[in-house]
Amino acid sequence: MPLPVRTETQQGQSPHQTHSGEGAPVHPGSGTRRAKKRRPTEYTENTELQELEIDAKGIRINGKSGKRGHQNSPHLSRKTFRVFRVFRRPILFCLLLILPLASCRQETRVDRATREKILLLGNGAEPKALDPHIVSSVGDSNILRALFEGLVVNHLSDDSIHEPGVAERWEPNADFSEWRFFLRKDAKWSNGDPVTAHDFVYSYHRALHPLTASPYASMLFFLKNGEAFNTGKVQDFDSVGVKAKGDHELVCRLESPAPYFPDVVKHTTWLPVHRGTIEKFGKMTDSYTDWQKPGNHVSNGAFQLTEWRLNAHVKVRRNPHYWDAANVKPNGIDFYPIESPFTEEKAFRNGLIHYSYAFPENLVAKYQAMPDSPLRSETYNGSYFYRCNVTRAPTHHVDFRRALASAIDQETIVKYVTRGGQVPAYGFTPPAEGGYHPPRVIGFDPEKAREFLKRAGYASGKDVPEFTIFFNTLESHRNIAVAIQDMWKKHLGIDKVKIENQEWKVFQQTTQDLRYDVSRAGWIGDYVDPYTFLSIWRTGDSNNYTGWSNPAYDRHLEESALLSDPAARLAKLGEAEAILLDELPILPIYWYTRVYLLHPDVKNWYPTLLDHHPYKHIDLVPSVKGADR
Amino acid sequence: MDTLRYLLSRLAQSLFALFCIITLTFFLARLAPGGPFLDEKKIPEHLVEQMRRNYGFDQPLPVQYAMYLGRLATGDLGPSFGNKGFSVNEIIADSFPVSAALGFCGLVLALTLGIPVGVFAAARRNTIVDYSLMSLVTLGICVPSFVVAPLLGEFFALKLGWFDVALWENSSAWILGSVTLGLYYSTYIARLTRGSMIEVLSQDFIRTAKAKGSPPLAILFKHAFRGGISPVVAFLGPAVAGLIGGSFVVETVFGLPGLGQHLIKAASNRDYWLINGTVSVIAVLILTMNFLVDVLQAWLDPRTRANR
């Protein structure tokens, strides 16, 4: 017993063992040697015991190295240092690696990219595909618009101006039901092949073909018999309203008149694909072949695909065959799929990207306070709202929905909850949508809300049965739901509102199966026209999900399509929206804004309603601050 | 002969476990509500039907399961719905090296940091040094990596400019990712090492070693260390799997294209084949590691050998 006690005190007394302790696993023998040399006198009495080399269990515990350690041991402190050095080597190595990195920090990645005219863009999620007939998300279409060029393209700063793309000019017939597009003769694919009207017909055939199962095929239902062909009611593609008249004229016959048709064809589903490439890697209707990989991908836009690594980057570079190649300003674009807005914000601050796709709302105030802030906050073509299930109590009662809508203080939500400059929504369609303004039917009015509640048959909010607000799991949705829950309690006295988050796919299922009371929703317009918003509330529309249906509403929309006078048409759509806002199958909350960071080196980047920025015009010029450096 | 038999039986166990995991994953993924073709903007019913046919989902589930096993036998993990045009094989081949690099560097850091701290704390049991080290370790366990990672990024990348704060290519952000992972696992390793070292140090053979006058450091490293490290070795199996497959947070914070992102996104996208593929890869990893660990432990601990 005394021996262990002594050993412990020895340990306690020796501060140098800290280092030798670390070093020892590598050189087990050295520890013994050191300790031995240090207090030779203390150990001499133990030597005899150690000589036995046998422990209680009869296993050798003291090998040769230990023995040798007794005999010749160098000085402890020097040895300790040497052992420690073994560990310093990787540290030094790491530092050597880091130093050059640290020293070349003067020129950031963004500075270099500006010099080389490569645009570095954050792009949200990883693209699902780079095939215009397969994808639908905003991030995917951002890349597609760099790679492909449609008939009509977006203007640099104004979405209502139609810029010629592959089509040099176009003309409608008298009632806007037939459109003729005259294609430029010098348009080329990135492999040098000419772009012809036949390419467009082939592309629309592919996108509408039932076997392709293109998720966004409905964008092409504008074409006569487009829907019938897609659903298989019509087998012959010749009956679909799209024809090539020679190589350079494309004729589109529409299902019903659409004066805003040039807006529609700007959508990515209307982009052409290269027949030879598609069929080299599979059938026309194959939706996932290798054609979209770098090296195989052929496109007709200002840029061509050069690299694609999942979750890392998509890189596009100049397409030398592009008809307007001389006027394409950037040499290339790197798209980075950074899903976390916090990471994006840091990457921006670190000089890794020119543009952040998203921005964390809790940093808005901090960035707004900066001089020359890179923060941009712009009106966007989208609406944030709640769906109400009109097929079950309590939301089936129109007055109850009116009460709920009138008790939502949207001003407070955008000011204190979302904080990104969002606009309180007094209607569903965002204002200024092609000159359209939604009618003012409802608004925040607690007095009126209580009145509606009484009319719905509830003497007080306490009598309202329990119901639930559903939303997909995301902190910002929760914050809004909590705020609204509180407003309904405060203004209406309803205390049995539950909030429930569900994982994305489960949430979609709940909503689409009408197993909810109130459900969060967002709708981004596909093109600039109120119709892209109002059409989803038609009876039986596949995106309705509320159970709401109103014959007068449907009739107004149908009639609007037949009006060739734009003003009369918008007025008609306004009448429809007035019905929607009176019956309220939806509770409008706010209109979206795009909040993002943009580097001052990026020129010609203007706020647009659709958030499309024609990349060929975007210039990169070192800003004054960069030049000083 | 005995050793060979033991190894073979362990191998058979591992393969059976793998089969169970693959089967369970297949059916659990299918039982989850929602599906791969469900989105906010509804895809028309007839197109969903066509997509299901394109992927063979119109067949009864047992038939699909049999087809899946058949494909698996040829090494084909199937296509991904979330990343169209990419096969699950391609995705794993692309992302696994990233996760492996992250995980390996993290593991090296975890071991070089965790073991010495644990051994040292055990040697100084119940002293102020031990208490302060263990408090630090506990703190490290409690602070999640989604807090540590941004802090490391903020300090080493944005303040000192030593590393990039995100992105993979020609970028140094992955070093910070490795450090985050390594720090986290080093805390577990430190605790494990300390605990088992203390246990070993209180055993008879250590007392005998002390009695015959072995120097304390020799006792610590020659006699106690080999036994004391055993639980750490056992922990290596799940740790390696966790480091490689479970680095989702680190990958998200530093924007790295690893396996963890695919694993999580596959689950939320209901990307069935990608779910099965990534889970199988991680299962194979865990089973392999556990197998190796068993062998290693037999070598480290004579008693395991004796019992066999």
Interface pTM, i.e. ipTM: 0.86
Mean pLDDT within A24-29: 36
Which residues of chain B are within 8 Å of residue A3 when distances are taken between CB atoms? 210-211, 213
Res B257 pLDDT > 70: yes
Between A438 and B41, the higher pLDDT residue: A438
Res B42 pLDDT > 60: yes
How many contacts does A have with B, using Cβ atoms within 8 A?
A: 262
- Residue pair B210/A7 in contact (Cβ under 8 Å)? The answer is yes
> Which of B95, B120, B268 is nearest residue A18 as measured by Cβ atoms?
B120
Secondary structure (3-state) at A619? strand
- pLDDT tens-digit profile of A425-456? 999 999 876 678 889 888 899 999 999 999 98
> Which of A22, A61, A504 is nearest residue B116 as measured by Cβ atoms?
A22
The residue type of A537 is: W
Q: What is the pLDDT of residue B40?
A: 67
H/E stretch holding A403: helix A398-406
Res A480 pLDDT > 80: yes
Mean pLDDT within A495-504: 90
Give the DSSP letter string of B118-172. HHHHHHTTTSHHHHHHHHHHHHHHHS-HHHHHHHHIIIIIIIS-SS-SS-STT-S
Mutate to test the interface with A, among B80, B214, B264 (most CBs of A within 10 A): B214
The least confident of A65-74, A335-344, A603-612, B232-241 is: A65-74
CB atoms within 10 A of CB A513: 10
Per-residue pLDDT band at A84 (split at 50, 70, 90) = very low
Which residues of chain A are within 8 Å of residue B158 when distances are taken between CB atoms? 346, 349-350
- pLDDT tens-digit profile of B90-140? 999 989 988 988 889 999 999 999 999 998 898 888 889 899 999 999 888
- Residue pair B279/B227 in contact (Cβ under 8 Å)? The answer is no
- pLDDT tens-digit profile of A460-477? 888 899 999 999 988 889
Greatest CA span in chain B, whole angstroms?
Answer: 84
Res A157 pLDDT > 50: yes
Give the phi and the psi of residue B136 in degrees, each rounded to 5.
-60, -45
- pLDDT tens-digit profile of A38-56? 443 333 334 333 333 333 3
The least confident of A432-436, B58-62, B214-218 is: A432-436
Window 110-149 of B: residues touching A by CB (8 A cutoff) are 112, 115-116, 119-120, 123-124, 127
Mean pLDDT within B177-184: 90
Q: What is the pLDDT of residue B1?
A: 56
- pLDDT tens-digit profile of A86-128? 444 445 455 555 554 544 456 888 999 999 999 999 998 888 8
Could you tell me the two tokens for A284?
A: 């026309």
The least confident of A54-58, A485-489, B158-162 is: A54-58
The least confident of A12-21, A256-265, B47-56 is: A12-21
- Residue pair B32/B266 in contact (Cβ under 8 Å)? The answer is no
Mean pLDDT within A344-355: 92
Which residues of chain A are within 8 Å of residue B151 when distances are taken between CB atoms? none
Alpha helices in A14-75 (DSSP H): 17-23, 28-38, 40-51, 64-71
Q: State chain A's mean pLDDT as an integer.
A: 82
Q: Is the link from the previous residue into B62 a cis peptide, with omega within 30 of 0? A: no
Could you tell me the two tokens for A256?
A: 């019903």
CB atoms within 10 A of CB A365: 9
Res B281 pLDDT > 70: yes
Name B138's Cβ contacts closer than 8 Å, sequence gap at least 6.
B187
Q: What is the pLDDT of residue A597?
A: 94
Taking CA–CA distances from B220, the nearest residue in chain A reads A21
H/E stretch holding A54: none
- Give percent above pLDDT 90 in chain A: 52
The residue type of A69 is: G
- Residue pair B20/B279 in contact (Cβ under 8 Å)? The answer is no
Q: Are strands A497-502 and A467-472 parallel, antiparallel or unpaired?
A: parallel
H/E stretch holding B225: helix B225-228
Between B303 and A124, the higher pLDDT residue: A124
Name B139's Cβ contacts closer than 8 Å, sequence gap at least 6.
none
For B272-291, letters b (16+ CB in 10 Å) and e give bbbbbbbbbbbbebbbebbb
Q: What is the pLDDT of residue B303?
A: 65
Name A99's Cβ contacts closer than 8 Å, sequence gap at least 6.
none
Between B230 and B22, the higher pLDDT residue: B22
The least confident of A294-308, A505-519, A615-629 is: A615-629
Mean pLDDT within B17-42: 85
Secondary structure (3-state) at A600? coil
Res A547 pLDDT > 80: yes
- pLDDT tens-digit profile of A177-215? 999 999 999 999 999 999 999 999 999 999 999 888 888
Cα–Cα distances in angstroms (integers) from residue B1 to residues A114, A407, B288, B292, in the given order: 68, 80, 22, 18
User: What is the C-alpha to C-alpha distance for residues B156 and A613, in angstroms, rounded to an integer?
Assistant: 34
The verdict on A44 touching B (C-beta cutoff 8 Å) is no
The least confident of A71-80, B53-62, B243-252, B272-281 is: A71-80
Name B39's Cβ contacts closer than 8 Å, sequence gap at least 6.
A136, A215, A508
Which residue, among B149, B175, B250, has the nearest Cα to A102 in the 3D structure? Answer: B175
Torsion of CA A209, A211, A216, A217, to 10 degrees: 20
